[in-house]
Structure 1
Amino acid sequence: MKTNNDRSPTAPPPSVALVLEFVNTHADAGGRIEQFDDAAGLRGWLDRVELPDELRADRCDLEVTGADAASARELRDALVTLLLAHSGEEGSLGEPLAEAESYLQRVASRYPLTSVIGAEGVTLQAEQTGVPGVLASVLAGITELAQSGAWSRVKACRNPPCHFGFFDRTRNSSAGFCSPGCASQASMRAYRQRKKNAAAR
């Protein structure tokens, strides 16, 4: 995955697609179902997602296990915590964020990356094949986002029933919700809580 420093800060790098496809696999209150609940679920996601070129040829031969699905869930859930922190969601800060960052530091050695250096730029590729290679490619995409300065714009919706991952295209990187609908729900919930607190006083 190549870096491109000429990109507009509000335009998502290509790598954001795989990262968001990966984090947006969790269940929510709006009807989305857990996609990594078992080997079959992860297998279905792998069949649908756009994989890096070096992994596409192996897609049909991938052996997926329940342990692979559990690893994918753990990695995804840690990333969602970071994306909620990017959105300023208070519940993700402090100990949850520290635990997620610690986990990601450990898991980086489990899914190592190799730098492929050429005249046109540097590409990060997974050293492994199979499901570990796919998870490493997600980490490679995050590295590209960080190198391009766009990682903090990858966020998760602060609306608790949602937590959908999205790329913040606002100029001042101030978005905290994936849609006006989620912003409205959160605003109404806060309003009702303020009324309840006022009545209790």
Structure 2
Amino acid sequence: MELLLAFLNTRDLELGTDVLDGAASWRAWVAERRLGHVDDLATVRSARIALRSALGERAAAKPFSGTVRIELSQGVPMIATTDALGAVLAAAARVALLGSWERVKVCQAETCQAAFFDRSRNRSRTWCSMQVCGNREKARLWRERTRALSAS
């Protein structure tokens, strides 16, 4: 789960950073996680867009491919990969196979859009953090309602 969320959050709107803006930062991200071979940056960007789009982010997803194999290790089927994108796709597949894909969400705050795992009982979270994004959003809506009432 952590690998998938880390990959989905390689772009940070609040900080204005994107790991996928350059080959060096992508290589460093891959090395930090010991993921093996570094993939083509254009393919990796397409994968991130497609995965975030699958979570409901409004983005035009392009086709992409990654290499994931199933191997028997001591009689147990295991997802195997040799590259970073394959590891991310394997993590996404694992989340989906475990029935938790619908709990991976994108924060609805326009200035954030961070991916997060919804641990709420009824799976209704819409913000990555109620203390930060949820609070900002509720305060913004309150200000709008207050302005509308004072204008009328």
Give the shorter-chain TM-score range.
0.7 to 0.9
Correspondence for 1:137: 87
Tell me the equivalent position of 2:4: 19
Unaligned stretches of 5+ in structure 1? 1-15, 86-91
Deviations 1:172-196 (A, max 9, x none): 1111111121101111222333445
Partner of 2:51: 79
Please point out which of 129, 139, 146 is paired with 1:188. 139
Distance 1:166 1:135, change over 3 A: same
TM (norm. structure 2) is 0.82
Structure-2 change in CA distance of 1:121 and 1:192 (3 Å): farther
Q: More strand by proportion, 1 or 2?
A: 2
Q: Distance in 2 between matches of 1:72 and 1:27?
A: 16
Q: Is the 8 A contact 2:12 2:114 kept in 1?
A: no
- Give yes or no for contact 2:107–2:113 (8 Å, CA) kept in 1: yes
Q: Does 1:111 align with 2:111?
A: no
**Percent identity over paired residues:** 30
Aligned length: 151
Q: Deviations over 1:111-160 (max 9, x none)?
A: 1322123566421223xx4xxx2112211111111110011111121111
Could you list the runs of 5+ residues in structure 2 that have no partner in the other structure? none
Query: What CA distance in whole angstroms lies between the structure 2 residues aligned with 1:198 and 1:37?
Result: 44
- RMSD of the TM alignment (CA)? 2.5
Alignment-derived partner of residue 118 in structure 2 = 168
**1:50 shift after superposition:** 4.8
Per the alignment, residue 103 of structure 2 pairs with 153
Query: Residue 41 of structure 2 aligns with which residue?
Result: 69
Cα deviations by residue, 1:37-93 (Å, 9 ceiling, x for unpaired): 111111111121253xxx3xx6xxx5x7xxx2232222212322333x2xxxxxx4x
**SS of match in other structure, 1:36:** helix
